[in-house]
């Protein structure tokens, strides 16, 4: 079946082999991605999707060149494909240059594949999301450095623009006849939520929770991701959205703005909501050229430390303010940053706290002792926890320093029950943390991998210690308070908007000693800890519930849509 790629351009042809009677889930969305892959990779004649890829959806789809020996196996075993040239014999004949949508590798296509898959699985199990992202960024940077610059048509001819009689467009605006699922005739309002990725993180969890909470009888939700990852949270939202597009899987960087404009046009998007999505920010100039009435909202979470000085909050105001209709910030601290540094008007900023689902994060709903039992921690032990990424921002090594100071006091006090420290998480500093723990002789510090459900950690810990160098307003604070677990935090970012002063530690040297001094009265007094936990949960239930966040965001959505 011919698919029109560009008006007046070449047709694309749909071809397949051994396609099951019921097409795999997402096939229409997949055809759209294939079309874009062909449009933006002119050196290739065909894009195929092996049916074997439907077996393992845990791996991110990506485009890889398919060599002759692998192509023959794929053609014989079943595939869906798009080609520039009309295929022969149901698309089975080899086409010289082929791109393949692959879950990292083509399963079972070469004799060495099993070994490579084993290595891939090994790395997947060993590396944290942060480590995977770090390695990918380094690989992409090296690839960009080694790739020679391409000469554009204008550079090649050096023909002055003023002397030409006709001109080639600097950007394309493809009109694909794919009949994508539209909502223009429905009463629902199409919105696009652009995310960094669907991995573990406060900003990403907020986006996922928002997608799930938006009333589907009112909104038709589309989602994009910026960064190649395993996107574990896609399964949480797939039933709540019209489509999810993982942009790195099928688009080169230069085509991302064009795709965003196409997606907004083809789905009649009325509201674009950015959640730390760098590619979507970079596409705003292109989007605004064609969609001046589109409402654009961004959510800002943190003012970053160097080398990423200011982070998204700084970049949004410095580079993209002219394109954005409204800012959602998660704290008064961030609003002050935008109004004082960039003189953005108050009526263009809404402070809506992230808050927490206090019905889900409720100590009465979680059995006590799960983590203690798993790690053989005695019930009578006093357990001090750390929960977060093992990164420089979270300063986990300061936690170990403070743990040693507290252990010394514990021994000097003559306490008979054990004092145990627990660090839950993963990240680039994991090896250094393990070395520091080995050096901390006499102090019991246990490690546990990061968890999707963190409630058992809060339930079993007597107190949390979080010596972060910087935060927006940490999600772990909301969750710990809702779980009735006292938490001590460095006084950074907007933490003072949530935590009482006695639980905030001045972010200066000697930081470990300051944490030890502040926490000591709570370690030796169980009633003091209990009273603090009860007070913290009461504050969350009265002022920071999940329902408040969603109702305020829905009101903001309706206000912006009324301005369109």
Q: What tokens were used for 366?
A: 């979680």
Phi then psi dihedrals of residue 190, to 5 deg: -75, 130
* Distance in angstroms (rounded) separating the CA atoms of residues 446 and 440: 12
From the candidate CATH numbers 3.40.630.10, 3.10.129.10, 3.40.50.2000, 3.40.640.10, the one assigned to the domain spanning 363-544: 3.40.50.2000
Give 144-183 pLDDT, tens digit per residue.
665 655 544 444 456 688 888 888 887 778 877 666 666 5
Instruction: Assign 335 a pLDDT band (cuts: 50, 70, 90).
Output: very high
CA distances to 11, 16, 75, 92, 538 from 89, rounded to whole Å, are 18, 10, 11, 6, 70
* Distance in angstroms (rounded) separating the CA atoms of residues 18 and 13: 17
What is the third-level CATH fold of 189-353+549-563? Rossmann fold (3.40.50)
Q: Is the pLDDT confidence value at 415 over 60?
A: yes
* Distance in angstroms (rounded) separating the CA atoms of residues 206 and 211: 9
- Taking alpha carbons only, the member of 206, 274, 203, 207 closest to residue 472 is 203
Q: How large is the average pLDDT for residues 254-277?
A: 95
Q: How large is the average pLDDT for residues 488-507?
A: 97
Contact 522, 531 (CB under 8 A): no
Q: Can you list the alpha helix ranges (DSSP code H) found in 447-502?
A: 455-460, 475-482
Of 7-11, 188-192, 228-232, 253-257, least confident by mean pLDDT is 7-11
Instruction: Specify the pLDDT at position 117.
Output: 43
Instruction: Specify the pLDDT at position 168.
Output: 80
Radius of gyration of the chain from Cα atoms? Answer: 27
* Distance in angstroms (rounded) separating the CA atoms of residues 473 and 493: 7
- Angle 148-153-159 from CA coordinates, rounded to 5°: 125
Q: How large is the average pLDDT for residues 248-270?
A: 93
Q: Is the pLDDT confidence value at 16 over 60?
A: yes
Give 279-303 pLDDT, tens digit per residue.
999 999 999 999 999 999 999 999 9
* Distance in angstroms (rounded) separating the CA atoms of residues 521 and 411: 15
Instruction: Report the mean per-residue pLDDT for the chain.
Output: 86
Instruction: Say what percent of the chain tops pLDDT 70.
Output: 83
Higher pLDDT, 396 or 79: 396
Give 94-131 pLDDT, tens digit per residue.
577 889 888 754 544 433 334 444 555 556 566 776 77
Residue 233 region by backbone torsions, left for phi larger than 0, else alpha for psi between -120 and 50, else beta: alpha
Q: Which residues contact 249 (CB under 8 A, 6 or more apart)?
A: 33, 60, 61, 62, 63, 101, 228
Q: What tokens were used for 235?
A: 């399964």
Give 354-404 pLDDT, tens digit per residue.
999 999 999 999 999 999 999 999 999 999 999 999 999 999 999 999 999
Contact 316, 327 (CB under 8 A): yes
Higher pLDDT, 197 or 335: 335
Q: Is the pLDDT confidence value at 310 over 50?
A: yes
- Angle at which helices 475-482 and 202-213 cross, to 10°: 70
Instruction: Specify the pLDDT at position 113.
Output: 38
Higher pLDDT, 70 or 219: 219
Neighbouring C-beta atoms of residue 315, cutoff 10 Å: 17
* Distance in angstroms (rounded) separating the CA atoms of residues 57 and 549: 32
Q: What tokens were used for 38?
A: 């062909």
DSSP 73-94: HHHHH-EEEEESS--STTTTS-
Instruction: Specify the pLDDT at position 74.
Output: 79
Q: Give the predicted TM-score (pTM) of the model.
A: 0.85
Domain with CATH 3.40.50.2000 in the chain: 189-353+549-563, 363-544
Q: Is the pLDDT confidence value at 342 over 90?
A: yes
Higher pLDDT, 397 or 69: 397
Give 33-59 pLDDT, tens digit per residue.
998 999 889 889 899 888 877 665 666
CA distances to 234, 316, 326, 511 from 322, rounded to whole Å, are 32, 10, 10, 41
Give the strands of the sheet with 504-505, arranged side by side: 444-448, 419-424, 382-387, 463-466, 487-490, 504-505
Q: Would you call 136 exposed, middle or buried from its count of C-beta atoms within 10 A (0-12, 13-18, 19+)?
A: middle
Q: What tokens were used for 319?
A: 């580079």
């Amino acid at each position: 079946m011919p698919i029109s790629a560009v008006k007046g351009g070449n047709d694309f042809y749909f071809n397949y082999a051994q396609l099951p009677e019921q097409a795999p889930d997402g096939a229409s969305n997949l055809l759209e991605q294939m079309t874009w892959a062909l449009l933006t990779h002119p050196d290739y004649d065909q894009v195929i999707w092996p049916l074997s890829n439907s077996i393992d959806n845990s791996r991110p789809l990506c485009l890889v060149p398919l060599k002759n020996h692998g192509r023959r196996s794929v053609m014989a075993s079943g595939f869906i494909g798009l080609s520039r040239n009309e295929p022969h014999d149901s698309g089975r004949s080899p086409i010289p240059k082929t791109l393949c949508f692959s879950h990292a590798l083509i399963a079972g296509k070469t004799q060495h594949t099993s070994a490579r898959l084993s290595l891939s699985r090994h790395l997947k199990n060993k590396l944290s999301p942060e480590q995977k992202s770090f390695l990918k960024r380094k690989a992409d940077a090296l690839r960009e450095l080694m790739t020679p610059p391409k000469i554009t048509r204008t550079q090649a001819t050096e023909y002055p623009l003023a002397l030409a009689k006709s001109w080639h467009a600097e950007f394309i605006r493809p009109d694909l006849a794919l009949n994508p699922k539209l909502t223009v005739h429905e009463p629902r309002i199409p919105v696009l939520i652009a995310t960094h990725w669907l991995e573990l993180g406060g900003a990403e969890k907020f986006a996922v929770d928002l997608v799930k909470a938006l009333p589907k009888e009112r909104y038709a939700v589309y989602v994009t991701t910026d960064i190649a990852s395993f996107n574990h949270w896609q399964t949480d939202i797939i039933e709540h959205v019209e489509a999810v597009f993982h942009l790195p899987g099928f688009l080169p960087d230069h085509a991302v703005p064009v795709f965003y404009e196409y997606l907004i046009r083809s789905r009649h998007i009325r509201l674009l909501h950015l959640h730390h999505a760098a590619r979507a920010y970079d596409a705003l100039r292109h989007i605004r050229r064609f969609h001046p009435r589109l409402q654009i909202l961004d959510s800002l979470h943190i003012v970053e430390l160097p080398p990423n000085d200011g982070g998204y909050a700084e970049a949004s105001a410095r580079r993209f303010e002219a394109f954005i209709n409204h800012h959602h910030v998660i704290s008064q601290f961030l609003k002050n940053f935008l109004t004082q540094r960039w003189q953005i008007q108050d009526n263009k900023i809404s402070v809506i706290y992230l808050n927490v689902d206090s019905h889900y994060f409720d100590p009465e709903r979680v059995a006590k002792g799960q983590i203690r039992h798993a790690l053989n921690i005695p019930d009578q032990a006093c357990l001090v926890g750390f929960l977060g990424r093992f990164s420089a921002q979270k300063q986990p090594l300061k936690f170990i320093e403070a743990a040693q100071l507290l252990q010394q006091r514990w021994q000097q006090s003559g306490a008979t029950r054990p004092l145990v420290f627990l660090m839950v998480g993963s990240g680039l500093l994991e090896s250094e943390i393990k070395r520091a723990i080995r050096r901390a002789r006499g102090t019991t510090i246990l490690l546990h991998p990061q968890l999707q459900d963190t409630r058992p950690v809060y339930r079993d810990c007597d107190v949390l210690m979080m010596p972060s160098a910087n935060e927006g307003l940490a999600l772990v604070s909301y969750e710990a308070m809702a779980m009735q677990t006292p938490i001590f935090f460095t006084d950074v970012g907007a933490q003072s908007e949530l935590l009482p002063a006695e639980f905030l530690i001045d972010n200066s040297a000697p930081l470990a000693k300051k944490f030890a001094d502040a926490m000591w009265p709570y370690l030796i007094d169980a009633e003091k800890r209990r009273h603090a936990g009860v007070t913290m949960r009461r504050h969350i239930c009265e002022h920071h519930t999940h329902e408040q966040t969603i109702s305020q965001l829905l009101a903001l959505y309706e206000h912006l849509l009324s301005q369109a």
